[in-house]
Chain A
C-alpha cells in the first residue's frame, strides 16, 4: 500500500512552502477566503473534500472559534480546530 501520510497540493501545482501561510484560523467573522491547500491526513482530507473543501473553493467565516462555523457552497459547516489549522488560504484574497 502506498503510504502517503500527507496530502499537500497547491493550486499552482508546485510543492514548495510559502512564507507566512494564512490558515482558516486567521479569518475573522465575515471574512472570506479561497482555499489554497489542505495539509492533513488522508482520511480527513477525503472527508473535507467530499464536503466541498477543495483547492479553489471560496468560503466565508461566520463564527470564528474552536470549533468555527464557515459557509462554503451555500452550506454552513462546523469545523474543529484540527481541520482549521489544516486549511491554508491564498494570501492575497480578502
Chain B
C-alpha cells in the first residue's frame, strides 16, 4: 500500500482567500501541524457529482491512499483557501445508496462516519450530496446519516439538471423538513461553493439534527435494547452512533456489520440478535423491508412538499438518446462501432508517440554505450535497466488513450448502458455486465483491468473476471504479433483492398483470447467458483457532458498506478533476466573472438569499411555465443525437447523463457540470440531476414508459417507478465489465484501452440 501525494492544478490558493487573511504559503504547513484538524466527511449516492464537488472544494490538492484491509480508495484533502479554512480536512467517501454493508468495502462509509477509522477519527461534520433531480432515492441515505448525531450540511447538487427537467426544489422548505442547512450548488459550474463553505464553517459547532425515523413499536423496542447492550460493550460511543450501528446490524442478517460485531463481542451477541429478530418477525414485520418502507413513507411526503413540477416531464434528451443506445440491436451496433473506433484510435494515435519514446530510449542507450566502458555496468544499464523501463514506457501512450476513452464514456454515463447491453451475453457465461469495463481495459494492459474489477460486488464474479482478464490480448503482445506476421504471413488480399491475410491473422489472434476466455469462464462458474450470478442491478444515470478536469485527473491517476505497479515489477524482472543472460562469461569465448579480430586485421588491411563490417559481425557473434553459454541459454537448450513438438528450437525457447516475466523482452532477446545485438525491434528488417534464414542443424528451416502461428498463439494465451500476477495477488490477497492463473494459462498456451503447429503443419504441406 502506498499513498501518492498529487499536486496538480491551481497552486494559487489565494484565489479563495479572504481579503484580510494574513497567513498563506509555507506558514500554513506549520499551522496545520500545530492545530487539530476539523474533519468533514462527504457522502452521497453514486452519480451525484460528489467527486466533482470534492475536487472543487479541495482545488485538486488531494491524497489518495488505501483503507487497511480493503480495496476501496481513501481520498482526503484540505479545504482550499487560507486559514482557518485550510485546516479543515475533507474526506471523500465512496458513493453508496445506504449505510448497510455486505462486505468490508461497503462498510467503509459507516466506519468512517462513526469514527472507527483510526486515521481520520470522528468527523466533525458530514456533508451529504444530493441530486436534486432524484430527490426521493437520494434522501434515503440522507435520513440515515442524519441519525448519526453529527452536524450535517446538505449540498443540493445538480439543480440545473432538475431545472431542465422541469423540477424545482425549495431548499428552504427542505431545510425545515430535515432540520439542517441545505445549500444549492452546481458542482460542475463551481456555483454555490462559497455558500457551501460558509455553511460548513458555521455548522461545525452546531447542534446535530434530532430527526429520527419512526419505526414500528416492535422494531423500536428491539433496537433500543440492542443499542443499550452494544453501548455497554463499546464504551465512549455516542448514543446516536451506537443506535445507527445497531440498526444496520439488526436489520441486515448475515451482513458485514453483524459479522464484525459478533467477532468482537462474542456468540452472546449472535444469540441476542437471533432472539430479537424472531420477536420482530413474530410481530409481523419484515426485517429487510421495514427500514426502506418507513424511510420512503416519510421521504415521499417530504418530496411532495418541497419539490414542485413546474413543467410536465418531457422525454429528456437523455431518454431520447437511450431509445437508440439501449436498443438491443442498434445499441449493440453503436457499442461495437465505438469499440472499433477506440481500437483504431489507439493504434493510429499511439504510433507516433511510441516511435518517439522508442527513439528516445535508443538514443539514451547509444549515449551510455559511448560514455560507459564495456562491461557488466554498461550492459546492466543499457540492456537491463533501460530496456526494462523503455519496455514499460513504450506502451504508455496506448494505455493512456484507452483509459481516456473509458474515462470519457464513464463520465458521460454511457458505460452503464454498455454494461446493460452486454449483460445479456455476459450472463450466458455466468458473468455480470459489470465485468465489461475491466475486460475492455485488459486489452491495453491487464494490470489496470484487474484493478477495475473492484466495482464488481460479488466475490465469485469478480474472481472469474480477474482470472480471464489476462486472456484479453494486451498491447505488450503486439510486437510479437507484428514481427511474426510481418516476416511470415503473406499479404494476400482477403477482402479486396480492405482486408488482407496479415490483418485477418491479427484480428484472429485477438479473437483467440476471447474464444478461450468463454469456456474458461463457463467452467469456472460451474466448478471452482460455482454460484449464481448476481442479477444485473445498476442505475443508468442521466447523460451529461464529460468534465475535462475529472477525465484528465482520472487518466493521470490510472497512468501513474500503471507505471508504478507494472513498471517496478517489469523493471526488477528485466534486471534478473539480464543477469541470467549475462552470466557466466567464460574467458574462452573472449579469447576466440579476440583471435578472430586479430586475424581480420591483415585480411581487410586496406578496406576500412569492410573491416568495420567484419568487426561488427564478430561483436555480434560474440554476444550470441555468450548468450548460448549463459544460464538463460542453457535453460533454453534444456527445454528444447519439450518445445520441438510445437516447432520451436532452443533459441525460440530461450527467448520465450526470458519473456516469461515480461513479454516485452522477447524481441530484444531474439535479437541477441540471432547475433544481431539487442536494439532490435519488431520492424527491424535485419531480424526478419535472420529469422527467415534460421535453420536446424540438419539444414531445415526453423521458421515457417506453422511455427510463426504457434509462437503467436502461445503468446496470445500465456501469462507472461509478472505485473499481472503481482496485481492478482494484491487484489485477491492470496497466492492461490496468481499461481492458478499462471498454471492454467501456460498449460493452455502450450496445448494450443501444439495443436496449431500440428494442424497448420498438415494444412500447409
The dominant DSSP class at the A interface is mixed
Answer yes or no: B523 CB below 8 A from chain A CBs: no
Knowing A43-B102, A54-B296, say if A9 contacts B286 (CB, 8 Å). yes
Instruction: List the B side residues contacting A4 at CB < 8 Å.
Output: 253, 277, 281, 287
B288 and A78 contact, CB distance less than 8 A: no
A65 and B328 contact, CB distance less than 8 A: yes
B537 and A51 contact, CB distance less than 8 A: yes
Knowing A50-B97, A66-B424, say if A38 contacts B289 (CB, 8 Å). yes
Q: Pick from B102, B258, B281, B427: contact of A80, CB below 8 A.
A: B427
Instruction: List the A side residues contacting B252 at CB < 8 Å.
Output: 46
Q: How far is the CB of A9 from chain B (nearest CB, A)?
A: 4
A78 and B273 contact, CB distance less than 8 A: no
Q: How far is the CB of A34 from chain B (nearest CB, A)?
A: 13
A42 and B284 contact, CB distance less than 8 A: no
Q: How far is the CB of B74 from chain A (nearest CB, A)?
A: 23
* B-contacting residues, A36-94, CB 8 Å: 38, 42-52, 54-57, 62-63, 65-67, 69, 73-83
Answer yes or no: A22 CB below 8 A from chain B CBs: no
Answer yes or no: B222 CB below 8 A from chain A CBs: no
Answer yes or no: A20 CB below 8 A from chain B CBs: no
Q: Pick from B287, B534, B537: contact of A78, CB below 8 A.
A: B537
Instruction: List the B side residues contacting A19 at CB < 8 Å.
Output: none
Instruction: List the A side residues contacting B419 at CB < 8 Å.
Output: 78
Instruction: List the A side residues contacting B133 at CB < 8 Å.
Output: 74
Instruction: List the A side residues contacting B255 at CB < 8 Å.
Output: 46
Instruction: List the A side residues contacting B274 at CB < 8 Å.
Output: 1-2
Instruction: List the A side residues contacting B97 at CB < 8 Å.
Output: 50-51
Question: In the complex, A43 Cα to B254 Cα: how many Å?
Answer: 8
Instruction: List the A side residues contacting B273 at CB < 8 Å.
Output: 1-2
Question: In the complex, A82 Cα to B427 Cα: how many Å?
Answer: 11
Answer yes or no: B116 CB below 8 A from chain A CBs: no
Q: Write the A9-40 contact mask toward B (1 if CB under 8 angstroms, else 0).
A: 10001000000000000000000000000100
B289 and A45 contact, CB distance less than 8 A: yes
Name which residue of chain B comes closest to A9, CB basis.
B286
Instruction: List the A side residues contacting B92 at CB < 8 Å.
Output: none
A69 and B326 contact, CB distance less than 8 A: yes
Answer yes or no: B229 CB below 8 A from chain A CBs: no
B137 and A79 contact, CB distance less than 8 A: no
Question: In the complex, A6 Cα to B296 Cα: how many Å?
Answer: 22
Instruction: List the A side residues contacting B137 at CB < 8 Å.
Output: 51-52, 73-75
Question: In the complex, A56 Cα to B252 Cα: how many Å?
Answer: 21
Q: How far is the CB of B259 from chain A (nearest CB, A)?
A: 10
Q: Write the B13-47 contact mask toward A (1 if CB under 8 angstroms, else 0).
A: 00000000000000000000000000000000000
B423 and A78 contact, CB distance less than 8 A: yes
Question: In the complex, A66 Cα to B428 Cα: how many Å?
Answer: 12
Name which residue of chain A comes closest to B417, CB basis.
A78
B540 and A45 contact, CB distance less than 8 A: no
B253 and A48 contact, CB distance less than 8 A: no
B134 and A75 contact, CB distance less than 8 A: yes
* A-contacting residues, B292-316, CB 8 Å: 292-293, 296
Q: How far is the CB of A5 from chain B (nearest CB, A)?
A: 10
Name which residue of chain A comes closest to B420, CB basis.
A78
Question: In the complex, A44 Cα to B537 Cα: how many Å?
Answer: 9
A78 and B289 contact, CB distance less than 8 A: no
Instruction: List the B side residues contacting A78 at CB < 8 Å.
Output: 416, 419-420, 423, 433, 536-540
B254 and A77 contact, CB distance less than 8 A: no
Q: How far is the CB of A53 from chain B (nearest CB, A)?
A: 8
Answer yes or no: B100 CB below 8 A from chain A CBs: yes
B537 and A2 contact, CB distance less than 8 A: no
Answer yes or no: B322 CB below 8 A from chain A CBs: yes
A67 and B539 contact, CB distance less than 8 A: no
Q: How far is the CB of A89 from chain B (nearest CB, A)?
A: 16
Question: In the complex, A9 Cα to B207 Cα: how many Å?
Answer: 38
Q: Pick from A38, A63, A82: contact of B326, CB below 8 A.
A: A63
Question: In the complex, A42 Cα to B253 Cα: how many Å?
Answer: 8
A7 and B289 contact, CB distance less than 8 A: yes
Name which residue of chain A comes closest to B323, CB basis.
A63
Answer yes or no: B411 CB below 8 A from chain A CBs: no
Question: In the complex, A50 Cα to B138 Cα: how many Å?
Answer: 10
B420 and A69 contact, CB distance less than 8 A: yes
Answer yes or no: B361 CB below 8 A from chain A CBs: no
A74 and B136 contact, CB distance less than 8 A: yes
Q: Which of B287, B326, B535 has the most CB of A within 10 A?
A: B535
Instruction: List the A side residues contacting B100 at CB < 8 Å.
Output: 46, 50
Q: How far is the CB of A62 from chain B (nearest CB, A)?
A: 8
* A-contacting residues, B532-591, CB 8 Å: 532, 534-540
Q: Write the B506-542 contact mask toward A (1 if CB under 8 angstroms, else 0).
A: 0000000000000000000000000010111111100
Answer yes or no: B369 CB below 8 A from chain A CBs: no
Question: In the complex, A67 Cα to B49 Cα: how many Å?
Answer: 26
Knowing A1-B274, A54-B292, say if A80 contacts B286 (CB, 8 Å). no
Knowing A4-B253, A42-B253, A50-B140, say if A56 contacts B538 (CB, 8 Å). no
Name which residue of chain A comes closest to B536, CB basis.
A80
Q: How far is the CB of A42 from chain B (nearest CB, A)?
A: 6
Instruction: List the B side residues contacting A80 at CB < 8 Å.
Output: 423, 427, 534-537
Question: In the complex, A13 Cα to B293 Cα: how many Å?
Answer: 13
Q: How far is the CB of A81 from chain B (nearest CB, A)?
A: 6
Q: Pick from A42, A51, A79: contact of B535, CB below 8 A.
A: A79
Knowing A42-B253, A83-B535, say if A57 contacts B289 (CB, 8 Å). no
Q: Pick from B289, B424, B427, B532: contact of A55, CB below 8 A.
A: B289
Q: How far is the CB of B351 from chain A (nearest CB, A)?
A: 37
Question: In the complex, A65 Cα to B135 Cα: how many Å?
Answer: 27
Instruction: List the B side residues contacting A69 at CB < 8 Å.
Output: 322, 326, 420, 540
* A-contacting residues, B116-141, CB 8 Å: 133-137, 140
Name which residue of chain B comes closest to A84, CB basis.
B535
Q: How far is the CB of B367 from chain A (nearest CB, A)?
A: 56
Instruction: List the B side residues contacting A46 at CB < 8 Å.
Output: 98, 100, 102, 252, 255, 288
Instruction: List the A side residues contacting B270 at CB < 8 Å.
Output: 1
Name which residue of chain B comes closest to A13, CB basis.
B284
A77 and B537 contact, CB distance less than 8 A: yes
Instruction: List the B side residues contacting A1 at CB < 8 Å.
Output: 253-254, 258, 270, 273-274
Instruction: List the A side residues contacting B136 at CB < 8 Å.
Output: 52, 73-74
B284 and A48 contact, CB distance less than 8 A: no
Q: A1-B274, A55-B293 are in contact. List 14 more A-B contacts (CB 8 A).
A: A4-B277, A7-B286, A13-B284, A42-B254, A46-B100, A49-B288, A50-B140, A51-B537, A52-B136, A54-B289, A63-B326, A80-B537, A81-B427, A81-B535
Listed by A's residue number, 7 A-B pairs whose Cβ atoms lie within 8 Å are: A46-B100, A54-B293, A74-B133, A76-B540, A77-B537, A78-B416, A78-B538
Task: List residues of A whose CB falls within 8 A of some B CB.
Answer: 1-2, 4, 7-9, 13, 38, 42-52, 54-57, 62-63, 65-67, 69, 73-83
Task: List residues of B whose CB falls within 8 A of some A CB.
Answer: 97-98, 100, 102, 133-137, 140, 252-255, 258, 270, 273-274, 277-278, 281, 284, 286-289, 291-293, 296, 319, 322, 326, 328, 416, 419-420, 423-424, 427, 433, 532, 534-540
Q: Which 6 A-B pairs have the closest CB atoms?
A: A82-B535, A80-B536, A80-B535, A49-B292, A50-B98, A9-B286
